[in-house]
């Protein structure tokens, strides 16, 4: 009996300790999460702000805080819909509450094209994500197999992706090079993705070059 009392005592104390310790830990993350999502005001709008309007995520491209002589102040914006790609102007009353679009980013590698779909792979989990050709749009001109891209998610859905700023591509067609000097004019060159860029006259077929994916401008030979 003495042995049983000895074993029961510490076990009872151990259970009570964990009940008291675990209970508050379940509540704290919920409070902080809801505060973070719904704390955005129209006065906080800046270029690059992501908001939810009419059930869709939008990115603010331009904004202007207006304080008229008469009437209430307001914020005039130009916004792009992540889902449709449409750009529109929207106006919000100053101080109105807005829901901030909670977006997440993941790095994926473009591995291959399957028909009209572009396949991206997570190199850690090997999970595949797919984008339709219409979703990729003109960005496919700079998209080469093996490129690491950033996929943007909203509510578990891919809504956009970002290319590397600098992409390395190969010249497949251009007029013969003229020397190895930066002086001597420019010429068009076709790259292995099908894009056509303006390059210096000394660039030849087979050369790898660096291109700015934002502007499509030649930067240098790789």
Question: What's the mean pLDDT in 103-122?
Answer: 94
What are the pLDDT digits (tens) for 135-161?
Answer: 888 899 999 999 999 999 999 889 888
Distance separating alpha carbons of residues 139 and 147, to the nearest angstrom: 12
- CATH 2.40.50.140 is the classification of domain 166-221: yes
Which pLDDT score, from 0 to 100, does residue 137 have? 87
Which pLDDT score, from 0 to 100, does residue 13 have? 40
- In CATH, what class is 103-162? mainly beta
| 37-100 CATH | 2.30.30.30
In this structure, are residues 200 and 175 in contact, taking their beta carbons and an 8 Å threshold?
Answer: no
Which pLDDT score, from 0 to 100, does residue 196 have? 96
Distance separating alpha carbons of residues 58 and 28, to the nearest angstrom: 30
Nearest Cα to Cα of residue 171 among 146, 205, 121: 205
**Full-prediction pTM beyond 0.75?**
no
- Model confidence at 74, pLDDT cuts 50, 70, 90, reads very high
DSSP states along 15-63? HHHHHHHHGGGGTHHHHHHHHHHS-EEGGG--TT-EEEETTEEEEEEEE
- Model confidence at 165, pLDDT cuts 50, 70, 90, reads very high
pLDDT exceeds cutoff 70 at 34: no
- Model confidence at 113, pLDDT cuts 50, 70, 90, reads very high
Nearest Cα to Cα of residue 111 among 161, 148, 153, 164: 148
CA 197 vs CA 10, 103, 149, 174, 180: distances in Å: 76, 33, 21, 10, 19
Instruction: Return residue ranges of the chain for CATH 2.40.50.140.
Output: 103-162, 166-221
Which pLDDT score, from 0 to 100, does residue 88 have? 95
pLDDT exceeds cutoff 70 at 24: no
In this structure, are residues 212 and 219 in contact, taking their beta carbons and an 8 Å threshold?
Answer: yes
In this structure, are residues 124 and 111 in contact, taking their beta carbons and an 8 Å threshold?
Answer: no
Instruction: Return residue ranges of the chain for CATH 2.30.30.30.
Output: 37-100
In this structure, are residues 191 and 169 in contact, taking their beta carbons and an 8 Å threshold?
Answer: yes
pLDDT exceeds cutoff 90 at 200: yes
DSSP E strands in the chain: the ranges are 40-41, 50-53, 56-66, 74-81, 87-93, 97-100, 103-114, 117-121, 128-132, 148-154, 157-162, 166-174, 186-191, 196-200, 208-212, 217-221
């Amino acid at each position: 009996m003495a042995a049983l009392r000895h074993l029961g005592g510490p076990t009872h104390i151990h259970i009570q300790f964990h009940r008291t310790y675990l209970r508050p830990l379940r509540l704290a993350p919920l409070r902080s999460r809801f505060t973070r999502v719904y704390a955005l005001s129209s006065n906080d709008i800046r270029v690059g702000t992501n908001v939810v309007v009419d059930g869709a995520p939008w990115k603010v491209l331009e904004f202007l805080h207006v304080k008229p002589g008469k009437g209430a102040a307001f914020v005039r914006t130009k916004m792009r819909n992540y889902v449709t790609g449409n750009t529109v102007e929207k106006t919000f009353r100053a101080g109105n509450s807005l829901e901030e679009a909670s977006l997440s980013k993941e790095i994926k590698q473009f591995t291959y094209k399957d028909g009209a779909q572009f396949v991206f792979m997570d190199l850690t989990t090997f999970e595949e994500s797919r984008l339709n050709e219409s979703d990729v749009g003109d960005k496919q001109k700079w998209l080469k197999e093996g490129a690491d891209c950033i996929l943007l998610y909203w509510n578990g859905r891919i809504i956009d992706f970002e290319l590397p700023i600098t992409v390395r591509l190969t010249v497949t067609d251009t007029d013969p090079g003229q020397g190895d000097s930066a002086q001597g004019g420019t010429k068009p060159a076709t790259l292995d993705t099908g894009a056509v860029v303006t390059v210096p006259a000394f660039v030849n077929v087979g050369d790898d070059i660096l291109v700015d994916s934002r502007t499509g401008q030649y930067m240098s030979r790789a």
